[in-house]
Structure 1
Amino acid sequence: MAQSASRCRQIISQGPERQEAPSCPAVTSRAEDPALERTEMQPEPKPGDLIEIFRWGYRHWAVYVGDGFVVHLAPPSEYAGAGASSVMSALTDKATVKKELLSEVVGRDRYRVNNKHDDKYPPLPPGKIVQRALQEVGKDVLYKLSSENCEHFVNELRYGIPRSDQVTDAITAVGVASLAIAGVSLISYIVSRNRRQNQ
């Protein structure tokens, strides 16, 4: 029965609309079926909105340009069949700007509209954001995980300011981890030295 319910969940979650397969038992909560979280109806994006896509280990970003399409910076890790891997992105220095259906870019991952810097930077008019995004489609551009990634790209289109919180957060995390390691090493050294002196 568990296998049958699992198959039913797959049928339900793969369709464009959440529908019950005729012979499937009702699934009523996210606790019963985590796939429902992924297929929950998202608010309809508006042209110029930034779309945050939750990949395993990182977030991918795109700009919604209307009619179900997004424009995004696609390093090799974002190509169909490449497997979502930030390691692949780190090993390349080029990416292609693509216009694709939001549903295809998202795949089985979760996403949300996230214009998180609107309170800090005034966004450009939606028509201008879309125009700028569409002008970039098809171009091969420089790609650097640290300074020219998909998040830098979409923020440049929306605000005219390239920035990536993922990079800032990673740098902060590395700094904190380095300090913690240095602190533990120092304490270990002091304790070890004191033990030797007491012997």
Structure 2
Amino acid sequence: MKNPVPQAASLLLEKLLLLVHVRPLPAGSAGEQPPPPAPDYHDTSCFQRGDLLEVPRTLFIHFGIYLGENRVAHLMPDILPALTGDRRQIQRVVTNKRLILGVIARTASIRVDTVEDFAYGGSILVNHMDRLFEDQVLGSEEAARRAEKLVGATAYSLLWNNCEHFVTYCRYGAPVSFQTDKVRPGAAGEPRGAPLRRERRRPAPGAALPFLAA
């Protein structure tokens, strides 16, 4: 029988880290829907289809793949896809309550939003991770097509199946999360660079990807 303590500790860690990562709604806000970001906040003329976009937050970074025409595919925890198939409801901007419940239920969606909704007022870095993967960067069109094929409901784990796993699979061919490797169980004793060497191997044809695992 498995020891439930490490599993409980891992789940608690996920919740705590997520709560730090979430940007709270403005004080005194009566509705669940956050205010929309200002239009034309970002100049998308410098983005190319297949670019990997990063939005730095307090302790974590949110990632997405640019699809062109002001659209970004990104993975977000969300409880709503597990409760309804109404695309109009699901496509609304994810509120804090939906996001937190998605983490608890380990459900998410790979969704397409505008650059403004994706960034939510933050600054954007473009292809900042390319330097870590040297010659493993896939073609821009291949990266975009991979992201488009995966749009829809999926499993979620902050430590194992998150937005960084999604974008690194799309752009580099191997799902990696450097920011959660630092805190995941068992990673403390690994030498620097070990996660990259291990994860850079391409998955075998037909193999299940971490962010698609149940």
TM-score by structure 2 length? 0.55
- Residue matched to 2:169: 156
- Residue matched to 1:129: 143
Which structure has the bigger radius of gyration?
1
Q: Does 1:99 align with 2:112?
A: yes
2:78–2:100: 8 Å Cα contact kept in structure 1?
A: no
Identity, % of aligned positions: 24
99-108 vs 150-159, which deviates more?
99-108
Q: Distance in 2 between matches of 1:58 and 1:86?
A: 15
Paired residues for 1:171-186 under 5 Å: 171=184, 175=188
TM-score by structure 1 length? 0.59
- Residue matched to 1:54: 56
SS of 1:132's equivalent in the other structure is: helix
- Aligned residue type for 1:71: A
Q: How many residues are aligned here? A: 140
SS of 2:182's equivalent in the other structure is: helix
Q: Does 1:111 align with 2:124?
A: yes
Paired residues for 1:36-47 under 5 Å: 44-47=46-49
- Residue matched to 2:18: none
Distance change (3 Å), C-alpha of 1:15 and 1:62: closer
- Residue matched to 1:33: none
1:57–1:86: 8 Å Cα contact kept in structure 2?
A: no
Deviation per residue, 1:35-71 (Å, 9 max, x gap): xxxx7x6881211111111234321110011111110
Where in structure 1 are there 5+ consecutive unaligned residues? Answer: 1-12, 18-38, 177-199
Q: Distance in 2 between matches of 1:142 and 1:86?
A: 13
Give 1:81 shift.
5.4
Moved >6 Å (runs of 4+) = none
SS of 1:60's equivalent in the other structure is: strand
Deviation per residue, 1:87-141 (Å, 9 max, x gap): 656423111111111111112122211341445251111111111111122x211
- Residue matched to 2:25: none
